[in-house]
Amino acid sequence: MGRRNNTNVSDFILEGLTDSEEIGLVLFNLFLLIYLVTVLGNAGMILIIRLDLQLHTPMYFFLTHLSFLDLSYSTVFTPKTLENLLTSNKHISFGGCFTQMYFFIFLAGIECFLLSSMAYDRYVAICNPLQYPVIMSTTQCRSLVTAAYVIGFTDSTVTLLGMNTLYFCNSNVIHHFFCDTSPILALSCTDTRNVEIIIFIFAGITLVASLIIVSMSYVPILSTILKINSTAGKRKAFSTCASHLLGVTIFYGAMIFTYLKPNSSYTLGKDQVASVFYTIVVPMLNPLIYSLRNKEVKNALIRVMQKTQSTRNFR
Q: Which residue has the higher pLDDT, 189 or 257?
A: 189
Flag whether pLDDT at 237 surpasses 90: no
Flag whether pLDDT at 2 surpasses 50: no
Compute how many other C-beta atoms are within 10 angstroms of the C-beta atom of residue 27.
21
* Domains and their CATH numbers in the chain: 2-314 (1.20.1070.10)
| Contacts of residue 290, Cβ cutoff 8 Å, sequence gap at least 6 | 45, 63, 66, 243, 244, 247, 297
Cα separation, 279 vs 284, whole angstroms: 9
For residue 310, what pLDDT is reported? Answer: 62
Share of the chain above pLDDT 90, in %: 33
pTM of the model: 0.86
Band the pLDDT of 311: cuts 50, 70, 90.
low
For CA atoms 23, 26, 30, 35, the dihedral sign is positive
pLDDT digits (tens, 9 = 90+) for 7-29: 566 789 888 788 888 888 999 99
Q: Which of 149, 167, 170 is nearest to 62 (CA)?
A: 149
